[in-house]
Amino acid sequence: MLLADEVATHHPVLSANPYQPHLARIVRIHKMVENNYLFTLRFAEDHLARAFRHQPGQFIMLSVPGVGEMPISVSSSPSRPEVLELCVRRVGRVTNALYRMRTNDVVGVRGPYGNGYPMQEIMGNDLLLAAGGLGMAPLRSLLWYALDHRDKFHNITLMYGAKRPDDMLFREELLALVDRTDINCLLTVDADDSGTWKNHVGLLPTLFDHAKIDPLRTYAAVCGPPVVYKFILQRLLDLGFPKNRILMSLERRMKCGVGKCGHCSIGYKYTCLQGPIFTYWDAINLPEMI
Amino acid sequence: MKILKLPKEKLDLFASVVQQFGELHAPVEQDGKYVFKRLMRWSDARLEYDRTILPPKKYFLPPRETLFRYRPGEGFVPHTEGLDQRIILFGVHACDVYAINILDRVFAGKYPDPYYQARRKHIAIIGIDCSPDKHCFCRSMRADFVDHGFDLFFYDTGDYYQALVGTALGDDMVLATGSLFEPVDGTDIDDYKRRSWNKRRAFQLEVEIRDLPEIFEMEYQSEIWEELGEKCLSCGSCSMVCPTCYCYDVADHVELGSRAGRRARSWDSCLFASHALVASGENFRGPRASRIKFRFYHKQRGFVAEYGRPSCVGCGRCISACPVGIDVVQVIDRLRRVQDVASR
């Protein structure tokens, strides 16, 4: 197996190749929710596994050899290095191929790319994370980063809503946070047929009734399907949030991840370079953003 | 900049000497149009051409290009064949050199594209003077003159070509010819100025670009975009022939009966329906009107925000290539509500 270092030695003309995927081994496939598995990867090159650092909110380009490449946000926190956790929904050609792979199979990874959450700005403030459905995937990196650097943040609130308990991503670890007193972890489901759900039942915005939010000293990180943005953004504005304290994570078609291929451009910006984290102010000022 | 002159009748000689620096490519005639192509003999070169079908970008960002080969057990091995091939592009117009300078900025930045960079390093550019035709508006786009991006640039001043020497390689080409080139004097400079004056007056097409960001900002909701959407066929011809369109798609191609394959990129267009389509089925630019609007905004407005100027160089290719007659100059004029277009 040729490692990227060796490839670079053999091909000096392309020694610094931003498109070069680095081989990574699938070390765990956790069937979290149907069609939303958590893949844990470790770089084949040991020094990369140790040196790789990302910011919460950044993404990587994941290659399934012979099938293609796609952008996936990193769900693990940089405070827990050496492996990368990727929450992948089975939805397209490449993700379907990924779902056919097994533990110890090899994929390609390059990155990290994108701006990530502005951690320096957020630190010292309250943090509100609001996610619906698959929106928990990029926020989970931020969540654990904040909890692992707990002294750098004031109040931390998580609001997460899923359709049913079985649809909740990272359910066990999030349930374990409910009892913690250093975070207000609010979990809700739209409906509970099982009758075993001990947390909130109701739509995501109802969780605001259980949270104390000071809009002028809080950064709100929001992620989810369009319906989540629609209701949560309005709620945050009603509370008096300045638009540059609302952070959104956007997805677009991407082929390069490094600002060349043109697919992810929104108005005048590249999601892969200036995003994928945009403030709500950016969002309403860029054509076609939302 | 070093300026020399070459008697016109010695151009053939220069061309034969310069081949020691690389494979000679120049515009040749093909079905009544022109294409950049490898020269089999110098007499095939057509240096008084209007415009080539495809711009020289095809040499730096080929329409299809293999980036990696993949084999199980070996991983992704970069495909480097041809990247260091020495080529001389002879007869590139100023607008096309300007366009390459714009591509240089796109393919540099935080993540330089090594494939583009390698080709750019190994391909020499010899520019040549031209006369504007009815589709040319490079002067409006400030791209009728280039001060860098070429190795040599020949200006037609009657009996001579005045040669601007742009790089050390260009200088080596001059030196390799022995004493073919002569120094210029005051009269030659006057000849050059006269040539510039005449060329400027020859433009039939003009567009005022100074307030483009402001105009585009105001006209985002203009009905013109819906009209253009109705008209546009989404064929992507304008993107293919555009010297500064650089969007590309990437796909893995598996060899039949094996798990080996290659990863290749190919030209793409923001006018294609799939350009902003994601796996979930959501399309961020579904309607045709939103796609053609995006193309105009990215070229004429977005680039100004990002690089300080529009990415359009006024080569006129999209005007002549569009099967339904969408004309960038007319669109800008209309946005500007210029009433008097009869003078064209």
Contact yes or no for B278 and A252 at CB 8 A: yes
* Residues A239, A161 share a domain: yes
Helix B11-18 and helix B168-176, axial crossing angle in degrees, nearest 10: 110
Per-residue model confidence (pLDDT) at position B340 = 41
Domain range summary for chain B, segments of one domain joined by +:
2-202, 212-335
Phi and psi based region of residue A288 (left: phi greater than 0; alpha: psi -120 to 50; beta: remaining): left
Question: How far is B335 from chain A, CA to nearest CA, in Å?
Answer: 18
pLDDT tens digits, one per residue of A56-94:
999 999 999 889 999 999 999 999 999 999 999 999 999
For residues A289 and A79, which has the higher predicted lDDT (pLDDT)?
Answer: A79
User: A192 and A149 in one domain?
Assistant: yes
Helical (H) or strand (E) element with B332: helix B328-335
Residues A46 and A25 sit within 8 Å (Cβ to Cβ): no
Say if A239 falls within a structural domain: yes
CB contact under 8 A, A260 and B284: no
Chain A residues touching B57 at Cβ < 8 A: none
To probe the interface with B, which of A101, A268, A284 has the most B CB atoms within 10 Å? A268
H or E element, residue A19: none
B249 touches chain A (CB under 8 A): yes
Residue partners of B175: CB distance under 8 A and separation at least 6: none
Say if residue A164 is in the same domain as residue A204: yes
Residues in chain B within 8 Å Cβ distance of A92: 279-280
| Domain stop point among A90, A112, A134 | A112
Contact between B311 and B204 (Cβ < 8 Å): no
Q: Is A99 on the interface with B (CB under 8 A)?
A: no
Q: Is B145 on the interface with A (CB under 8 A)?
A: no
CA A97 to chain centre: 21
A47 with A9, same domain?
yes
Cβ neighbours of B276 in A, within 8 Å: 252-253, 263
Q: What is the pLDDT of residue A15?
A: 57
Contact A23 B75 (CB under 8 A): yes
In b/e form, how buried is each residue of B241-267, taking b as 16+ CB within 10 angstroms? bbbbbbbbbbebeeeeeeeebbbbbeb
Q: Give the residue numbers spanning the domain of A66.
A: 4-112
Nearest Cα of chain B lies from the Cα of A226 at a distance, in angstroms, of 11
Can you give the pLDDT at residue A268? 79
Which pTM was predicted? 0.93
Cβ atoms of B235 and B323 closer than 8 Å: yes
Contact call for B248 and A68, based on CB within 8 A: no
Rounded (5°) CA angle A157-A163-A166: 95
**Alpha carbon distance A71, A63 (integer Å):** 9
Element (H, E) at A39: strand A36-43
A116-149, pLDDT tens digit by residue?
A: 999 999 999 999 999 999 999 999 999 999 999 9
Based on the fold, state whether residues A165 and A205 are members of the same structural domain. yes
User: Would residue A273 count as lying in a domain?
Assistant: no
Does the bond joining A78 to the residue before it have cis omega, within 30 degrees of 0?
Answer: no
Burial of B70 (C-beta count, 10 Å sphere; 0-12/13-18/19+): buried
Q: Give yes or no: residues A99 and A155 share one domain.
A: no
Could you please report the per-residue DSSP string of B85-123? --EEEEEE-HHHHHHHHHHHHHTSTTS--HHHHHHHHHE
Structural domain contains residue A274 = no
pLDDT, one tens digit per residue, over A149-207 is: 999 999 999 999 999 999 999 999 999 999 999 999 999 999 998 888 999 999 999 99
Mutate to test the interface with B, among A265, A272, A282, A289 (most CBs of B within 10 A): A265
* pLDDT value of position B341: 44
Write down the pLDDT at residue A83. Answer: 96
Which one of B80, B249, B254 has the shortest CB-CB distance to A255? B249
| Residues A129 and A99 grouped into a single domain | no
Number of H helices, E strands in chain A: 8, 15
In which order are the strands placed within the sheet that holds A200-201?
A: A200-201, A184-189, A156-162, A126-132, A218-223, A246-249, A277-279
Q: Does B70 touch chain A (CB under 8 A)?
A: yes
* Phi, psi of B297, deg, nearest 5: -70, -40
Q: Say yes or no: A243 and A123 in one domain.
A: yes
CATH number at residue A182: 3.40.50.80
Nearest to B326 by CA among B259, B233, B201: B233
A202 inside domain: yes
Report how far residue B37's alpha carbon sits from residue B325's, in angstroms, rounded to the nearest whole number. Answer: 28
* B72–A258 C-beta distance less than 8 A: no
**Strand pairing report for A269-270 and A277-279:** unpaired
Helices (H), chain A: 4-10, 46-51, 93-99, 119-122, 136-148, 171-178, 226-239, 280-285
Q: Taking a contact as any Cβ pair under 8 Å apart, which residues of chain A between 3 and 42 contact chain B?
A: 3-4, 7, 10-11, 13-21, 23
Judged by CB atoms closer than 8 Å, whether chains meet at A93 and B254 is answered as no
B61, B68, B70, B299, best to mutate vs chain A, most A CBs in 10 Å: B68
Rounded Cα–Cα distance for residues B249 and B268 (Å): 6
> Nearest-CA neighbor of A53 among A43, A40, A44?
A43
Q: Could you tell me what percent of chain A has a pLDDT over 70?
A: 93
d(CA A236, CA B65): 47
3-state secondary structure of A228: helix
Tell me, what's the pLDDT at B221?
Answer: 87
Most A CBs within 10 A among B80, B284, B311, hence the mutation to make, goes to B284
Q: Do A11 and B78 lie within an 8 Å CB cutoff? A: yes
- Average pLDDT rounded to a whole number, residues A98-112: 96
Indicate whether A63 and A175 sit together in one domain: no
CB pairs under 8 A between A and B: 141
In a domain, A105, yes or no: yes
The B residues from 278 to 307 touching A (CB cutoff 8 Å) are 278-280, 284-285, 290, 294, 297-298, 301-302, 305-306
- State which of A79, A112, A145 marks the end of a domain: A112
**CB distance from B74 to chain A under 8 Å?**
yes
- In a shared domain, residues A51 and A124: no
pLDDT of residue B339: 39
Closest to B251 (Cβ–Cβ): which among A10, A14, A68?
Answer: A68
Residue A107, in any domain of the structure: yes
CATH number at residue A19: 2.40.30.10
Select from B124, B69, B45 the least CA-distant residue to B254.
Answer: B69
Q: Do A267 and B297 touch (CB under 8 A)?
A: yes
Regarding whether A48 and A14 lie in a shared domain, the answer is: yes
Give the per-residue pLDDT at B217: 85
> Distance between the two ends of chain A, CA-based, in angstroms?
44
Give B-chain residues touching A7 at CB under 8 angstroms.
Answer: 75-78
Is the Cβ of A66 closer than 8 Å to some Cβ of chain B? Answer: yes
Q: Which residues of chain A neighbour B77 with C-beta distances below 8 Å?
A: 2, 7, 10-11
Q: What are the pLDDT tens digits along chain B (344 aa)?
A: 999 999 999 999 999 999 999 999 999 999 999 999 999 999 999 999 999 999 999 999 999 999 999 988 788 999 999 999 999 999 999 999 999 999 999 999 999 999 999 999 999 999 999 999 999 999 999 999 999 999 999 999 999 999 999 999 999 999 999 989 999 999 999 999 999 999 999 999 998 888 888 888 888 888 999 999 999 999 999 999 999 999 999 999 998 888 889 999 999 999 999 999 988 888 889 999 999 999 999 998 888 888 889 999 999 999 999 999 999 999 998 888 743 444 44
Q: In chain A, how many domains are there?
A: 2
Report residue B79 as tokens: 């495909």
In chain B, residues 83-102 whose CB comes closer than 8 Å to chain A = 83-84
Quote the minimal CA–CA distance from B78 to chain A in Å.
7
Looking at the complex, report in whole angstroms how far the Cα of residue B277 sits from the nearest Cα belonging to chain A: 6
Q: In b/e form, how buried is each residue of A220-256, taking b as 16+ CB within 10 angstroms?
A: bbbbbeeebbebbbebbeeeebeeebbbbbbbbbbbb
Contact A54/A74 with Cβ under 8 angstroms? Answer: yes
- CB contact (8 A) between residue B83 and residue A13: yes
Any bridge partners for residue B4, and if so which?
A: B163, B183
Residue of chain B whose Cα is closest to the Cα of A68 = B252
Per the CB < 8 Å rule, is B260 touching A260? no
Q: Identify the DSSP state of B31.
A: T
Query: In this complex, which of A92, A93, A255 lies closest to B248 when CB atoms are compared?
Result: A255
Asked, for residue A138, whether it belongs to a domain, the answer is: yes
| Closest chain A C-alpha to B130 CA, distance in angstroms | 31
Contact status, residue A218 vs residue A125, Cβ threshold 8 Å:
yes
Q: Residue A56 carries which side chain, given as an amino acid letter?
A: P
pLDDT value, residue A85? 98
- The shortest CB-CB distance from B78 to any of A20, A65, A69 is to A20
A125 and A21 in a common domain = no
Q: B212 to each of A190, B244, B310, B332, how far by Cα in Å?
A: 49, 18, 9, 8
d(CA A126, CA A154): 5
